[in-house]
Amino acid sequence: MVGIGIAGFALALALSLALTPLVKKFAVKIGAMDVPDHRKVHTRIMPRMGGLAIYAAFTATILLFLPWLPDRLLSDHDENLIRGLLVGGTMIVLLGALDDRFQLNAKLKFLVQIAAACVVVFGFDIKINLVNIPFGSAMQPMGDWLSIPLTIFWIVGVTNAINLIDGLDGLAAGVSGIAIGTILVMAALMGQGSVILLSAVLLGGVVGFLFFNFHPAKIFMGDSGSLFLGFALATLSMLGFKQITVVSFVTPILIIGVPLSDTFFAIVRRWVQKKPIFAPDKGHLHHRLQQLGFSHRKTVLIIYGIAAFFGACAIVQSVATTSGMGNWVTFVVICVLMFLLQIGAEIIGIVDKTKRPVIDFVGRLFLKQQTNTRSK
Provide the pLDDT for residue 100. Answer: 93
Compare 115 and 354 and report the one with higher pLDDT: 115
Given a cut of 90, whether residue 354 has pLDDT beyond it is no
The string of DSSP codes covering 213-258 is HSSSPSS--HHHHHHHHHHHHHHHHTHHHHSTTT--TTHHHHHTHH
| Cβ–Cβ < 8 Å for 204, 13 | yes
Helices and strands (H and E) in the chain: how many:
16, 4
Q: Is 223 annotated as a binding residue?
A: yes
Task: State the average pLDDT over residues 30-38.
Answer: 82
CB 204 within 8 A of CB 29: no
DSSP letter for 120, please: I
Query: Which pLDDT score is estimated for 44?
Result: 78
CA separation for the pair 341, 338 (Å, rounded):
5
Q: For the CA atoms of the chain, what is the radius of gyration?
A: 21
Element (H, E) at 286: helix 285-291
131: which strand partners? Answer: 140
The DSSP H or E segment spanning 294 is: none
Beta bridge partners of 46: 34
Lowest mean pLDDT among 78-92, 108-122, 141-155, 297-311: 141-155
Predicted pLDDT at 142 = 60
Backbone angles phi, psi at 103, to 5 degrees: 55, 75
CB atoms closer than 10 angstroms to residue 83: 16
What is the residue-wise DSSP string for 310-355?
Answer: HHHHHHHHHHHHHTT-HHHHHHHHHHHHHHHHHHHHHHHTSS-SS-
Q: Is pLDDT of 122 > 90?
A: yes
80 is an annotated ligand-binding site residue: no
* 357 phi, psi to nearest 5 deg: -60, -45
Instruction: Identify whether 216 is preceded by a cis peptide bond (ω within 30 of 0).
Output: yes
pLDDT at 141 over 60: no
Residue 73: per-residue pLDDT: 62
* 367 vs 223 pLDDT, higher one: 223
CB 280 within 8 A of CB 25: no
Using DSSP's 3-state secondary structure scheme, residue 141 falls into strand
Please report, as a single letter, which amino acid is at residue 337: L
Q: Is the pLDDT of residue 16 over 90?
A: yes
Predicted TM-score (pTM) of this structure: 0.86
DSSP-assigned states of every residue in 149-194: HHHHHHHHHHHHHHHHTTTSTTHHHHHHHHHHHHHHHHHHHHT-HH
pLDDT score, position 202: 96
136 has pLDDT over 60: no
List phi, psi (to 5°) of 305.
-60, -40
Distances (CA, A) of 288 to 15, 60, 159, 307, 350: 35, 39, 23, 17, 6
Q: Is 243's pLDDT higher than 50?
A: no
26 has a pLDDT exceeding 90: yes
- Strand pairing partners for 34? 46
pLDDT in tens, 60-114: 999 998 877 766 666 777 788 888 999 999 999 999 999 999 989 989 999 999 9
Angle of CA points 311, 312, 318, to nearest 5°: 90
Q: Are 98 and 230 in contact (CB under 8 A)?
A: no
Is the distance from CB of 162 to CB of 230 less than 8 angstroms? yes
pLDDT category at 247 given cuts 50, 70, 90 is very low
* In the predicted structure, residue 175 carries a pLDDT above the cut 80: yes
pLDDT in tens, 202-213: 999 999 999 999
- The pLDDT assigned to 352 comes to 76
Instruction: Say what the pLDDT of residue 248 is.
Output: 47
Task: Compute the mean pLDDT over every residue in the chain, rounded to the nearest whole number.
Answer: 83
